[in-house]
Amino acid sequence: MTRTLSIFGATGSVGLSTLDLVRQHREQYRVVALTANGNAADLAKLAREFEPEMAVVADEAAYPALKEALTGTATKAAAGPAALIEAAQMGADWTMAAIVGCAGLPSTLAALEGGKTVALANKEALVSAGELMMAAVERSGATLLPVDSEHNAIFQCLAGGRIDQVRKITLTASGGPFRTFSLDQMRAVTPAQAVAHPNWDMGAKISVDSATMMNKGLELIEAHHLFPVGLDKLDIVVHPQSVIHSMVEYVDRSTLAQLGSPDMRIPIASALAWPERIETNSLPLDLAKIGRLDFEQPDLVRFPALRLARAAAEQGGATPAILNAANEVAVAAFLAGQVGFLDIARIVEQTLSGYVPNAPHSLDALFSIDAAARAYAETQMDILPDAA
Ligand code: NDP
């Protein structure tokens, strides 16, 4: 049986890895929708190859270029937020949610409401709107499959196990490119250094999040929603080789780990074929060549994002959405050369302490909190802690 697929964020790192797997297994999958933000040229190229029914650019300014590039094909070109929702409502059997940032939330939620299978890479959506998203899963009966390598590892370690028999879940973290840097060295790092991750090849935003370790903080909140064992049972350990992707310890002290080369095609393949397996061209794991696996405690002084994210998870309500919104603003400012690397966590912390809304009960309420937190974070760019 051919499975129909929609891929949101098709032109990004996760989107392209997903399409790479589809390319290897063309007979099993049929792509019905592909989306991007403004990159009409790459989206059109992918649409010509995979022949979806619909190709959507979120940015309406990119529509004329997309329309022209798709002339003579059977793919309908569309643009804007409503078109993204329309694509999410096409009823694909399997949807890859790989838009970066909270911008992916409406389409991810719309796909979940459809009650089919959603593979989630877009962690910011779950961090901001965890309760709303999990309620949608409950309501529609959708299957939510984690794609983030850590959560996919946990999902695999839980197969055949019972969540009430879990003693601890440990997320592994590579520690990013600045794991051994002093605070003084970190103060001077450039965007180019921050996006050069030692193990993983990823989009710019998640690469910076890995460098600040906010990525692990966001993943802690993500795990809190996906695997409800309680925050006190969620742990983080730094593991620089990125070979063990996460671990589950059961009450009998048996610990299950999932291992693999650091290649996103492996967790994506697991979600794409689930509950079956498909072959990938990824490198096999050569443990003798790797030689050793190291582990260390995360340093909350040099990586305050971890502390901020855990506190946000404990506080719940709108706090994780504020954390995420401020982080998106701060990372964009860092990538644009407007603030320094250490300012990212500072801006997030100042936004969290300066802006206290009510808990979001609806998507509209959540988006107003998100917008207000972004506006507040913008005002914190040049305000140093003493003056804040
Ligand atoms: P990229 O930056 O490589 O790609 C992002 C994709 O989203 C692109 O297709 C981009 O389109 C699209 N996009 C960007 N902004 C918007 C917007 N406002 N509205 C609609 N579409 C938009 O990101 P990644 O692939 O690295 O990451 C995607 C998600 O997956 C993130 O949430 C990340 O945290 C998560 N993730 C990524 C991993 C990785 O290895 N890369 C690993 C685990 C999770 P365009 O090309 O037109 O700009």
Best residue among 6, 14, 205 to mutate for probing ligand 1's pocket (most ligand atoms within 8 Å of CB) is: 14
Q: Does residue 245's CB lie within 6 angstroms of at least one atom of ligand 1?
A: no
Residue 386, exposed/middle/buried by CB under 10 A (0-12, 13-18, 19+)?
A: exposed
Distance 331 CA to ligand 1 centre (A): 14
Q: Does residue 12's CB lie within 6 angstroms of at least one atom of ligand 1?
A: yes
Q: Domain-by-domain residue ranges, the chain?
A: 3-146, 148-311, 316-388
Distance 100 CA to ligand 1 centre (A): 4
Q: Does residue 152's CB lie within 6 angstroms of at least one atom of ligand 1?
A: no
Q: Does residue 157's CB lie within 6 angstroms of at least one atom of ligand 1?
A: no
Distance 385 CA to ligand 1 centre (A): 31
Shared fold status for 3-146 and 316-388: no
- Angle formed by the axes of helices 214-226 and 319-335, nearest 10°: 150
Per-residue confidence in pLDDT tens, the chain, 388 aa: 899 999 999 999 999 999 999 999 999 999 999 999 999 999 999 999 999 999 999 999 999 999 999 999 999 999 999 999 999 999 999 999 999 999 999 999 999 999 999 999 999 999 999 999 999 999 999 999 999 999 999 999 999 999 999 999 999 999 999 999 999 999 999 999 999 988 888 999 999 999 999 999 999 999 999 999 999 999 999 999 999 999 999 999 999 999 999 999 999 999 999 999 999 999 999 999 999 999 999 999 999 999 999 999 999 999 999 999 999 999 999 999 999 999 999 999 999 998 777 778 889 999 999 999 999 999 999 876 654 4
Q: Which CATH architecture has domain 3-146?
A: 3-Layer(aba) Sandwich (3.40)
Q: Does residue 267's CB lie within 6 angstroms of at least one atom of ligand 1?
A: no
Strands 3-8 and 76-79: unpaired
Q: Does residue 203's CB lie within 6 angstroms of at least one atom of ligand 1?
A: yes
CATH for the 316-388 domain, from 3.30.450.40, 3.40.800.20, 3.50.50.60, 1.10.1740.10: 1.10.1740.10
